[in-house]
């Protein structure tokens, strides 16, 4: 029976003339998940932080506590959930509806928005971004560029592109604002000037959004929606739906399921921010599992600095005796080129190039 399943044609993820079978999506045995997509242990869940107390703009004692809580979560987990974040949930729900409508379209219509010379980012299926294995996912990637969003939407929806374009642009703007708030709070909690990070994000040339939709999978015990990886960017704001599947590697040896919480975002530290803080904040390996019954939608907003931004930890985060400098300075542009050369699977291959030898 298992062999029969593996030979089944996967029409929903076969594009560009491919005739893929389930066996094409099977990962190496070492990557097979030992826990299910909906296994959660409350004692091991990542911290949850509420911004309710500071939504009115006041920055008193409660603000100090929240900044320290963010830094603590970044140091211990590299992840935290954010609730009462100030992003209108109507905006997010409308965005999700538009995304599901996109992914529900026939393959030939979605492929009108496929990556091309005129659209370097866009829709794709079966794209092995993290090594040779195929992820069980459909993917949409776009820069935070209204022009690119509209160009993609026009290709797919034609004259009816406005609802999708408006939802995508509005959501990106809301997530950017939230991201700047998080950067200010992390900087404050680390004892840096509040604009230490944000001043490097005035241009949005590299900030992007990646939407993954994971269809039901007949063989979830051998397939993955997204393999083990760290995010190379500075910070990720992740919107996951009510279907579980996101897992992070706690202490480099234990996979922990991140329980979905309504009206929340999952925040995780990227490789660039780990280097920028001299290892204080940790970029942690994570992955996405799939299941047999349900579609799962995941929206990741990756905040990236300007190409010329110099990633160099400040002296406040260096101690020659207890915490010496770990990375040589580099620009985001140089790091991005390194990412094209190196595949970032099971570790930080590209980032490790900048490690200072002990």
Contact call for residues 240 and 246 (beta carbons, < 8 A): yes
pLDDT tens-digit readout, 125-155: 876 555 567 899 999 999 999 999 999 999 9
Q: Is residue 167 part of a domain?
A: yes
Q: Which candidate in 210, 259, 280, 296 is catalytic?
A: 296
Strands (E) located in the chain: 48-50, 79-83, 123-125, 138-143, 208-214, 226-229, 235-240, 246-250, 254-257, 265-269, 286-288, 296-303, 310-311, 330-331
Confidence bin at 349 (pLDDT 50/70/90): confident
Between strands 235-240 and 265-269, the pairing is antiparallel
Contact call for residues 153 and 165 (beta carbons, < 8 A): yes
pLDDT tens-digit readout, 20-78: 788 889 999 999 999 999 999 877 789 999 999 998 777 789 999 999 999 999 999 99
- Enter the pTM of the model: 0.94
Least confident of 128-132, 269-273, 352-356: 128-132
Cα angle for residues 246, 355, 133 (degrees, 5° grid): 35
The fraction of the chain above a pLDDT of 90, given in percent, is 75
Q: Distance between CA atoms of 283 and 281, rounded to whole angstroms?
A: 7
What DSSP state is assigned to residue 99? H
Domain encompassing residue 188: 27-352
Q: Is residue 1 part of a domain?
A: no
Q: What is the pLDDT of residue 305?
A: 96
Contact call for residues 201 and 180 (beta carbons, < 8 A): yes
Least confident of 1-5, 109-113, 207-211, 347-351: 1-5
pLDDT tens-digit readout, 300-341: 999 999 999 999 999 999 999 999 999 999 999 999 988 877
Least confident of 7-21, 106-120, 157-171: 7-21
Residue 6: pLDDT above 70?
yes
Q: Is residue 3 part of a domain?
A: no
Q: Is residue 88 part of a domain?
A: yes
* CATH code of the domain in which 35 resides: 2.60.120.330
Number of domains comprising the chain: 1
Which residue would you say has higher pLDDT here, 126 or 291? 291
Q: Which of 273, 80, 64, 79 is nearest to 189 (CA)?
A: 64
Confidence bin at 16 (pLDDT 50/70/90): low
Residue 345: pLDDT above 60?
no
Q: Is residue 22 part of a domain?
A: no
Active site residue 296: yes
């Amino acid at each position: 029976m298992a062999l029969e399943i593996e030979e089944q044609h996967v029409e929903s993820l076969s594009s560009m003339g491919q005739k893929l079978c389930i066996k094409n999506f099977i990962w190496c045995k070492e990557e097979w998940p030992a826990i299910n997509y909906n296994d959660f242990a409350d004692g091991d869940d990542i911290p949850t932080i509420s911004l309710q107390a500071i939504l009115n703009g006041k920055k008193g004692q409660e603000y100090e506590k929240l900044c320290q809580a963010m830094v603590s979560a970044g140091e211990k987990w590299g992840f935290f959930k954010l609730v009462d974040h100030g992003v209108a949930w109507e905006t997010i729900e409308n965005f999700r509806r538009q995304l599901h409508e996109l992914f529900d379209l026939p393959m030939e219509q979605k492929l009108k928005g496929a990556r091309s010379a005129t659209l370097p980012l866009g829709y794709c299926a079966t794209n092995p971004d993290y090594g040779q294995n195929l992820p069980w996912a459909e993917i949409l990637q776009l820069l935070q560029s209204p022009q690119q969003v509209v160009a993609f939407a026009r290709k797919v929806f034609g004259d009816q592109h406005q609802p999708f374009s408006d939802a995508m642009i509005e959501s990106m703007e809301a997530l950017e604002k939230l991201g700047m708030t998080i950067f200010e709070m992390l900087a404050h909690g680390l004892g840096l000037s509040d604009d230490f990070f944000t001043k490097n994000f005035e241009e949005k040339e590299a900030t992007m959004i990646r939407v993954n939709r994971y269809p039901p999978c007949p063989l979830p015990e051998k397939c993955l929606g997204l393999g083990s990886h760290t995010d190379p960017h500075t910070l990720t704001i992740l919107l996951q739906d009510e279907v579980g599947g996101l897992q992070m590697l706690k202490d480099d040896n234990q996979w922990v399921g991140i329980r979905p919480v309504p009206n929340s975002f999952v925040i995780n530290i990227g490789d660039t921010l780990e280097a920028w803080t001299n290892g204080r904040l940790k970029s942690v390996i994570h992955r996405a599992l799939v299941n047999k019954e349900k579609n799962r939608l995941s929206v990741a907003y990756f905040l990236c600095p300007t190409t010329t931004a110099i990633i160099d930890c400040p002296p406040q985060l260096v101690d020659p005796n207890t915490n010496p400098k770990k990375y040589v300075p580099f620009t985001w542009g140089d790091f991005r080129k390194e990412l094209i050369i190196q595949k970032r699977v099971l570790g930080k291959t590209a980032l490790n190039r900048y490690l200072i030898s002990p």
